[in-house]
Amino acid sequence: MLTRFDAAAALGGYWIHVIEEESVLSVVLKGQMLIEIQIENLIKAVYVDPSVFDLNRMLYPQKLDLLVAIGIFSKKEIAPYKKFNNIRRKFAHDLSYKLSFADLNKVKDTLSEKHKIIIGKDLLEQEDMNSLLKKILFSLLTLPILQNSIDERFNKSAKDPMTTEELEYYRALGEDVIKAEKSIIPKIN
Protein backbone atom coordinates (compact mmCIF):
# COMPACT_ATOMS: atom_id res chain seq x y z
CA MET A 1 0.00 0.00 0.00
CA LEU A 2 1.24 3.50 -0.79
CA THR A 3 2.15 6.02 1.84
CA ARG A 4 0.12 9.23 1.81
CA PHE A 5 3.13 11.04 0.35
CA ASP A 6 3.36 8.50 -2.49
CA ALA A 7 -0.40 8.66 -2.99
CA ALA A 8 -0.25 12.44 -3.30
CA ALA A 9 2.48 12.08 -5.92
CA ALA A 10 0.46 9.43 -7.79
CA LEU A 11 -2.48 11.83 -7.86
CA GLY A 12 -0.60 13.91 -10.42
CA GLY A 13 -0.49 10.92 -12.76
CA TYR A 14 -4.25 10.55 -12.60
CA TRP A 15 -4.97 14.25 -12.69
CA ILE A 16 -3.06 14.79 -15.94
CA HIS A 17 -5.90 12.94 -17.72
CA VAL A 18 -8.33 15.66 -16.62
CA ILE A 19 -6.40 18.91 -16.30
CA GLU A 20 -5.44 19.12 -19.96
CA GLU A 21 -9.01 18.60 -21.17
CA GLU A 22 -10.88 21.63 -22.48
CA SER A 23 -14.17 19.89 -23.23
CA VAL A 24 -16.52 19.96 -20.24
CA LEU A 25 -17.96 16.61 -21.34
CA SER A 26 -14.48 15.02 -21.37
CA VAL A 27 -13.62 16.50 -17.98
CA VAL A 28 -16.83 15.14 -16.45
CA LEU A 29 -16.59 11.67 -18.00
CA LYS A 30 -12.87 11.16 -17.41
CA GLY A 31 -13.11 12.62 -13.92
CA GLN A 32 -16.03 10.36 -12.99
CA MET A 33 -14.20 7.33 -14.37
CA LEU A 34 -11.06 8.12 -12.35
CA ILE A 35 -13.10 8.71 -9.19
CA GLU A 36 -14.95 5.42 -9.56
CA ILE A 37 -11.67 3.55 -10.05
CA GLN A 38 -10.35 5.06 -6.81
CA ILE A 39 -13.57 4.27 -4.94
CA GLU A 40 -13.27 0.64 -6.08
CA ASN A 41 -9.59 0.53 -5.08
CA LEU A 42 -10.51 1.83 -1.64
CA ILE A 43 -13.23 -0.81 -1.20
CA LYS A 44 -10.77 -3.54 -2.20
CA ALA A 45 -8.18 -2.21 0.25
CA VAL A 46 -10.43 -2.08 3.31
CA TYR A 47 -12.26 -5.36 2.88
CA VAL A 48 -10.71 -8.50 4.29
CA ASP A 49 -12.02 -10.50 1.33
CA PRO A 50 -13.10 -8.17 -1.49
CA SER A 51 -13.69 -11.15 -3.79
CA VAL A 52 -17.11 -11.68 -2.17
CA PHE A 53 -18.27 -8.53 -3.94
CA ASP A 54 -18.43 -8.29 -7.67
CA LEU A 55 -17.85 -4.55 -7.88
CA ASN A 56 -18.71 -4.61 -11.58
CA ARG A 57 -22.27 -5.60 -10.65
CA MET A 58 -22.66 -2.81 -8.11
CA LEU A 59 -23.95 0.58 -9.16
CA TYR A 60 -21.79 3.57 -8.31
CA PRO A 61 -24.17 4.90 -5.61
CA GLN A 62 -24.12 1.45 -3.97
CA LYS A 63 -20.32 1.56 -3.82
CA LEU A 64 -20.52 4.94 -2.11
CA ASP A 65 -23.11 3.67 0.35
CA LEU A 66 -20.87 0.69 1.10
CA LEU A 67 -18.06 3.06 2.12
CA VAL A 68 -20.47 4.75 4.53
CA ALA A 69 -21.70 1.40 5.87
CA ILE A 70 -18.17 0.31 6.74
CA GLY A 71 -17.30 3.67 8.27
CA ILE A 72 -14.72 4.94 5.81
CA PHE A 73 -16.73 7.97 4.69
CA SER A 74 -19.67 9.76 6.25
CA LYS A 75 -22.93 10.52 4.43
CA LYS A 76 -21.81 14.15 4.22
CA GLU A 77 -18.55 13.09 2.56
CA ILE A 78 -20.24 11.02 -0.15
CA ALA A 79 -22.96 13.59 -0.92
CA PRO A 80 -20.87 15.50 -3.49
CA TYR A 81 -19.95 12.25 -5.26
CA LYS A 82 -23.63 11.50 -5.72
CA LYS A 83 -24.37 15.05 -6.92
CA PHE A 84 -21.47 14.91 -9.36
CA ASN A 85 -22.74 11.57 -10.64
CA ASN A 86 -26.05 13.30 -11.40
CA ILE A 87 -24.15 15.61 -13.76
CA ARG A 88 -22.48 12.64 -15.42
CA ARG A 89 -25.88 10.96 -15.81
CA LYS A 90 -27.35 14.09 -17.43
CA PHE A 91 -24.55 14.06 -20.02
CA ALA A 92 -25.11 10.33 -20.62
CA HIS A 93 -28.89 10.54 -21.05
CA ASP A 94 -29.59 13.98 -22.49
CA LEU A 95 -27.86 14.90 -25.75
CA SER A 96 -28.77 18.56 -25.35
CA TYR A 97 -27.55 18.88 -21.72
CA LYS A 98 -25.22 21.80 -21.02
CA LEU A 99 -23.43 22.10 -17.69
CA SER A 100 -24.47 25.16 -15.74
CA PHE A 101 -23.16 27.02 -12.71
CA ALA A 102 -26.38 25.99 -10.97
CA ASP A 103 -25.48 22.30 -11.42
CA LEU A 104 -21.92 22.86 -10.24
CA ASN A 105 -23.14 24.84 -7.26
CA LYS A 106 -25.31 21.89 -6.24
CA VAL A 107 -22.13 19.83 -6.01
CA LYS A 108 -20.14 22.64 -4.40
CA ASP A 109 -22.83 23.16 -1.75
CA THR A 110 -22.52 19.51 -0.66
CA LEU A 111 -18.72 19.47 -0.35
CA SER A 112 -17.64 18.21 3.05
CA GLU A 113 -15.14 20.00 5.24
CA LYS A 114 -12.49 17.55 4.01
CA HIS A 115 -13.17 18.39 0.36
CA LYS A 116 -12.99 22.11 1.13
CA ILE A 117 -9.63 21.65 2.85
CA ILE A 118 -8.29 19.82 -0.21
CA ILE A 119 -9.34 22.61 -2.56
CA GLY A 120 -8.68 25.47 -0.20
CA LYS A 121 -11.78 27.11 1.18
CA ASP A 122 -10.94 30.43 -0.44
CA LEU A 123 -10.45 28.84 -3.86
CA LEU A 124 -14.10 27.94 -4.37
CA GLU A 125 -15.09 31.41 -5.46
CA GLN A 126 -17.04 31.40 -8.69
CA GLU A 127 -14.84 31.89 -11.68
CA ASP A 128 -15.04 30.32 -15.09
CA MET A 129 -17.04 27.11 -15.11
CA ASN A 130 -14.21 24.88 -16.33
CA SER A 131 -11.90 25.96 -13.47
CA LEU A 132 -14.60 25.44 -10.86
CA LEU A 133 -15.44 22.04 -12.34
CA LYS A 134 -11.78 20.97 -12.18
CA LYS A 135 -11.37 22.18 -8.59
CA ILE A 136 -14.41 20.21 -7.51
CA LEU A 137 -13.21 17.14 -9.38
CA PHE A 138 -9.76 17.46 -7.86
CA SER A 139 -11.20 17.30 -4.35
CA LEU A 140 -13.45 14.36 -5.26
CA LEU A 141 -10.51 12.43 -6.69
CA THR A 142 -8.02 13.34 -3.97
CA LEU A 143 -9.95 12.18 -0.91
CA PRO A 144 -10.28 8.48 -1.89
CA ILE A 145 -6.67 8.38 -3.14
CA LEU A 146 -5.31 9.74 0.13
CA GLN A 147 -7.71 7.61 2.16
CA ASN A 148 -6.42 4.50 0.38
CA SER A 149 -2.91 4.85 1.75
CA ILE A 150 -0.98 4.47 4.95
CA ASP A 151 0.16 7.37 7.04
CA GLU A 152 3.03 6.56 9.34
CA ARG A 153 3.07 10.06 10.81
CA PHE A 154 -0.51 9.67 12.06
CA ASN A 155 -0.27 5.85 12.40
CA LYS A 156 -3.24 5.32 10.04
CA SER A 157 -4.18 2.79 7.38
CA ALA A 158 -6.85 2.88 4.67
CA LYS A 159 -9.31 1.49 7.21
CA ASP A 160 -8.90 4.57 9.42
CA PRO A 161 -10.88 7.55 8.13
CA MET A 162 -8.73 10.62 7.55
CA THR A 163 -9.27 13.52 9.87
CA THR A 164 -9.51 17.17 8.92
CA GLU A 165 -6.28 17.70 10.90
CA GLU A 166 -4.45 15.24 8.66
CA LEU A 167 -5.77 16.95 5.54
CA GLU A 168 -4.78 20.37 6.89
CA TYR A 169 -1.28 19.01 7.50
CA TYR A 170 -0.95 17.69 3.94
CA ARG A 171 -2.42 20.85 2.43
CA ALA A 172 0.10 23.00 4.31
CA LEU A 173 2.89 20.63 3.33
CA GLY A 174 1.83 20.84 -0.32
CA GLU A 175 1.73 24.63 -0.19
CA ASP A 176 5.26 24.65 1.29
CA VAL A 177 6.50 22.41 -1.52
CA ILE A 178 4.94 24.68 -4.16
CA LYS A 179 6.52 27.77 -2.56
CA ALA A 180 9.92 26.04 -2.43
CA GLU A 181 9.68 24.97 -6.07
CA LYS A 182 8.75 28.50 -7.14
CA SER A 183 11.68 29.98 -5.24
CA ILE A 184 14.27 27.67 -6.81
CA ILE A 185 12.93 27.63 -10.37
CA PRO A 186 14.38 30.61 -12.23
CA LYS A 187 11.85 32.99 -13.73
CA ILE A 188 11.90 33.11 -17.52
CA ASN A 189 11.41 36.57 -18.99
| Per-chain mean pLDDT for the chain | 85
- State the pTM of this model: 0.85
| pLDDT for residue 184 is more than 50 | no
- Give CA–CA dist 112/114, Å, rounded: 5
Judge residue 109's burial from the number of C-beta atoms within 10 Å of its C-beta, 0-12 exposed, 13-18 middle, 19 or more buried. Answer: exposed
Q: What is the pLDDT of residues 50-93, one digit of tens each?
A: 778 788 899 999 999 999 999 999 999 999 999 999 999 999 99
Residue 176: pLDDT band by 50, 70, 90 thresholds?
Answer: low
Contacts for 60 with CB less than 8 Å, ≥ 6 apart: 36, 39, 85
Of all residues in the chain, the percent with pLDDT exceeding 90 is 46
Evaluate if residue 44 carries a pLDDT over 60.
yes
**What is the model's pLDDT at position 136?**
92
More confident residue, 91 or 150: 91
- Would you list the domain boundaries of the chain? 4-180
CATH architecture of 4-180: Up-down Bundle (1.20)
Contact call for residues 13 and 179 (beta carbons, < 8 A): no
